[in-house]
Structure 1
Amino acid sequence: MSTIEKALAKQKAKENAESQLDETVAIEVNQATPSASESTSEPIAESAVVEKQQGKARDDMDGKQFGKELVLPLESLDNDGYVSLSSKRKLINEELRAIKRKVLANAFGPLANTLDSANLVAITSTMPQEGKSFTSINLALSIALEQDKTVLLVDADVLKPSVSKKLGVEDKIEQGLMDYLLGDVDDVRDIIYRTNIDNLRFIPAGKSSHLSTELLASERMAQLAHEFVSRYPDRVVVMDAPPLLGINETVVLANLAGQVLVVVEEESTKIQGLKQAIEQLDKDKAVGFVVNKTKKNTGITGYGYAYAYANHE
């Protein structure tokens, strides 16, 4: 039985919650917001110190001089089940923290020396509607709470972009990734939006184009990915990528990242499809997966996460 099959079976059975597969973290998230006594807080204020220390140089590179800033509706995001950046206590903060710690360890720990672009994380799925954009946003919000890290969230699902809509800023976007790849924008700073979260930057998908998938596999995209990971050594880039199956260019895009996180939906994603998707990825990548939309014993649908390396040799 493969690592993927074992982790999926473990998540489904909900047995032996304290045991782990090798390098596996398995956790469950309740969709409903828990009471204040159920979790611990992680206030956004802790992220402001490093941002101030890095000063004008970072702001200039991230578009401050262009006045590009998005005000995210944090209360609405909180109410919609996303990671909270206030002092409110939510179980989902704890669940995402477990995944975040593994991602950060890969990006900045000993393994980072063996991975190219270790701080670039591509989040994808086998098919649409499996929760990858939800996961991308939550991981970015969780990393933004770190005291000594910043995060750049990139909506690279240019065929069916949804991150801007989920963030509640769809009508405030002027330009994005596709505008840069098409050559309509020369300076990457023109597509990087600051937000009202100190440590979070955002690149939206931008305009639609019939060349969208080809441009994702272009040399210009490869150069941009390199710029993403090399600009700031303390930054994590979270890239919401298209599904792996049915879009050949997604594999090229995912392989630009040092880490690939594949989101699967319980009782929906097929094991064979998941194997096929992972077999397309470079074998030197840190490939993990997230099990999403689990069924609780009560029959209520929530969000369950499992993170593991996939053995795809």
Structure 2
Amino acid sequence: MSGSPADEHNIDDVIASKQAETDKHIDIDVARLEALGFVTLTNARRQINEEYREIKRKLIQNAFGPLSKTLANSNIIMVSSARPSEGKTFTAVNLALSIAAEQDKTVLLVDADVLKPNVLRTLAVPEKKGLMDYLLGESEDISDVIYRTNVPKLRIIPAGSSHHLSTELLASGIMSETVNEFSTRYKDRVVIIDTPPLIGINESAVLASFAGQAVIVVEEGRTKLHDIQHSVERLNPDMAIGFVVNKSITNTETGGYYGYSYYGSDREPA
């Protein structure tokens, strides 16, 4: 006996609901990332895991410790670089993975490099609707573009569609309200924002006005000192600013390795 039209309608609803759940989930191939040298989610004590543990500890302390009282949006951390190809997305993803391993923290990774989005590409995931679609009004609620992942404490907002008014959209009131919601809605959440390079890109300066902390990625032997100085000048002077030295060579008995070092600002709590 065939089902009634009402039964068929219910089945359609279930299928649509399950499809929506699938669409709002990102499956990260963690084994692939580990093979590529990213932070691993296993119990292995790899060098990169230890380096990012050290980096994240300072950031979490700034976000939730005594210094947080002197910072606006202390749990909003922008990750940038002076110029392209210095490792900022690699750093942002590793920070997100490392913080997701915390027992009492969740992490939201936002790809705000809307001119050249790279988070989903780094994760080998197809493009999805994201931040720009929400700012354009094509998604009704920010939750529509927050994707759960198979890493339990990690959520991702992709960059979404490109748009010629990206600077204006990022500087809009709705973006400011969204960042404030990120900062206050979940007391245990750290938000990592992968932003465009700081030099010559207006969007980065706009995003710097929302974040309480900045991590600037510099490549040893490549990033010029005046580029670092220029980058800092484009940041909010009230931020906590740190530097990750990418591909730094440390002498060891085996002749050296490529590593990641974090240098925080000297700012103390008021």
TM-score of the pair, normalised by structure 2: 0.86
Q: Return the offset for 1:213.
A: 2.8
Q: Is 2:80 aligned against 1:124?
A: yes
Tell me how far 1:253 sits from its aligned partner: 0.5
Do 1:262 and 1:288's aligned partners in 2 also have CA atoms closer than 8 Å?
Answer: yes
Contact conserved, 1:176 with 1:206, CA < 8 A, in 2?
Answer: yes
The answer (yes or no) to whether the contact 2:78–2:214 under 8 Å persists in 1 is yes
- Distance in 1 between residues matched to 2:192 and 2:234, nearest whole Å: 20
Q: CA deviation at 1:73?
A: 0.2
Aligned equivalents of 1:174 and 1:161: distance in 2?
Answer: 11
The gaps in structure 2 that reach 5 residues or longer are 1-17
What one-letter code is carried by the residue in structure 1 that aligns with 2:181? E
Q: 1:246 aligned to 2:200?
A: yes
Partner of residue 303, structure 1: 259
Q: 1:228 aligns with which of 182, 195, 198?
A: 182
2: distance between equivalents of 1:184 and 1:137?
A: 26
> 1:119-178 CA deviation, whole Å, 9 max, x = no partner?
000001110101000000000000000000000000000101111011121x2x431011
Does residue 1:160 correspond to 2:116, yes or no? Answer: yes
- Structure 2 contact 167–206 (Cα < 8 Å) conserved: no
Alpha-carbon distance, 1:219 to partner: 2.0
Aligned CA RMSD, in angstroms, stands at 2.0
- Structure (1 or 2) with the larger CA radius of gyration: 2
Shift, 1:106, TM fit: 0.2
Q: Residue 151 of structure 1: which of 93, 98, 107 is its match? A: 107
**How do 1:188-267 and structure 2 match up within 5 A?**
188-267=142-221
SS at match of 2:248: coil
Structure 1 residues 23-74: Cα deviation after superposition (integer angstroms, max 9, x where no partner): xxxxxxxxxxxxxxxxxxxxxxxxxxxxxxxxxxxxxxxxx99511111101
2:65 match: 109
Distance of 2:160 and 2:212 partners within structure 1: 24
Q: Percent identity?
A: 54
CA contact (8 A) 2:208 2:236 kept: no
Q: Is the 8 A contact 1:132 1:263 kept in 2?
A: yes
TM normalised by structure 1 equals 0.75
Deviation per CA, 1:274-305: give whole Å up to 9, x if none: 11111222221101111112245578772332
Q: 2:25 aligns with which of 61, 69, 82?
A: 69
The structural deviation recorded for 1:306 is 2.5
In structure 1, what is the Cα distance between the partners aligned to 2:117 and 2:144? 19
SS at match of 1:202: strand
Q: Is the 8 A contact 2:166 2:203 kept in 1?
A: no
Per-residue CA shift, 1:157-207, capped at 9, x if unaligned?
A: 0101111011121x2x43101101111111111100000011000001111
Residue 129 of structure 2 is matched in structure 1 by: 175
Partner of 1:271 in structure 2? 225
* Contact 1:153–1:202 (Cα < 8 Å) also in 2: yes
Of residues 49, 52, 63, the one that matches 1:93 is 49
Aligned counterparts of 1:285 and 1:238: Cα–Cα separation in 2: 15
Unaligned stretches of 5+ residues in structure 1:
1-63
State the partner residue of 1:3: none
The amino acid that maps onto 1:83 is V
Whole-Å Cα distance in 2 between the matches of residues 235 and 65 of structure 1? 27
In structure 2, what residue type is equivalent to 1:92? I
Task: State how far apart, in whole Å, the 2-side matches of 1:293 and 1:212 are.
Answer: 31
Say which SS state the counterpart of residue 112 (structure 1) adopts.
helix
1:287 to 228, 238, 241: 241
Equivalent residue, structure 1, for 2:8 = none
Does structure 1 retain, via aligned residues, the 8 Å contact 2:214–2:242? yes
Q: Partners in 2 of 1:209 and 1:280 — Cα distance?
A: 23
Measure, in 1, the Cα distance between the counterparts of 2:168 and 2:100: 31
Conservation of the 8 A alpha-carbon contact between 2:27 and 2:149 = yes
